[in-house]
Structures are given as C-alpha cells and as structure tokens.
C-alpha cells in the first residue's frame, strides 16, 4: 500500500502534473521534490499439503480346518494416490500511483526512451491514459525494464 499526503488540493494537482509530465518526457518547469515512501510488501504463500502414500494392511492366511481345495489369498489392488493440489493465488493488482512511481524510478535510471517505447506499445502517451485492465500487463513490462514493482 502506498500512502501519499498533500497539504491541499493545489499541492496534489501540482504533483500529479509533475508526474504526468515526467511520464510523457516533458521537461519539468519548476524544481519540485518528490518524496517516495517504500512500504514493506507482504506475500502470503500457501504450502501444499503433503501427500501420504498408503499401503493396504497385509493379509494373513488362515489354516484350513478341514481338507479343502487350496485357495490363493487375494490382496486388494492399491488405490492410486490423488495428485497434489497446487494452490493458486489471485493476480496482483496495481494502482496508477504504483505504476507512476516505478516509471519515475526508470526515468531516474536513464531509461526514459525504453519507457516511452513501452507507452507507445500500449498506444498511450502517459500512464494516466492506460485503461485499468492494462495496468497489470504494463507493470509486468516495467519489471522487465528493471522497475521494482
């Protein structure tokens, strides 16, 4: 979770414009500092339950009491073990703020051309123009460029 606090609406709008300009590759008109706060990420992993193979109990032949025809003891066929259940997690979702923060880090790393190319592949000129359903795929591509998201 990323939490951002502003003094007022005008301050928020100035910061938003700055980020949009940075993502669009336009020069920033004023000297503005962006404070980034990194929140710890928690990932919950679910371990698969161990599978236990079961073997049928051994059968003990009994001695006949009277002469009879010999019989062969029967052992039930073992039942195959069920395949292990693989837990699945829901795909993570990303906010525009997370995307813009990761993009700003790429710009700082000198990868603005790669970032602009990525925006072009998604058919937009700024992160703010991405559709909500595009954010996950865009975050994956940012990660390929070296972003920490």
- Per-residue pLDDT tens for 48-84? 445 555 556 666 666 656 556 666 667 777 777 777 7
* Residues 6+ positions from 139 with CB-CB distance below 8 Å: 94, 98, 99, 102, 147, 149
> What residue spans define the domains of the chain?
9-35+93-144
Whether the predicted model's global pTM rises above the 0.75 cut: no
Can you tell me the distance from the alpha carbon of 55 to that of 78, in angstroms, rounded to the nearest whole number?
Answer: 7
How many helices (H) and strands (E) are present in the chain, helices listed first?
Answer: 4, 0
């Amino acid at each position: 979770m990323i939490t951002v606090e502003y003094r007022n609406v005008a301050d928020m709008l100035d910061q938003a414009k700055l980020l949009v300009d940075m993502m669009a590759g336009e020069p920033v008109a004023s000297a503005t500092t962006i404070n980034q706060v990194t929140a710890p990420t928690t990932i919950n992993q679910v371990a698969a339950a161990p599978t236990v193979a079961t073997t049928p109990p051994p059968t003990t032949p009994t001695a006949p009491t009277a002469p009879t025809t010999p019989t062969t003891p029967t052992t039930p066929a073992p039942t195959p073990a069920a395949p292990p259940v693989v837990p699945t997690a829901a795909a993570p979702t990303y906010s525009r703020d997370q995307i813009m923060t990761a993009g700003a880090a790429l710009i700082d790393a000198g990868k603005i051309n790669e970032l602009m190319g990525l925006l072009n592949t998604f058919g937009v000129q700024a992160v703010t123009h991405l559709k909500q359903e595009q954010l996950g795929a865009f975050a994956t591509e940012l990660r390929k460029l070296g972003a920490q998201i």
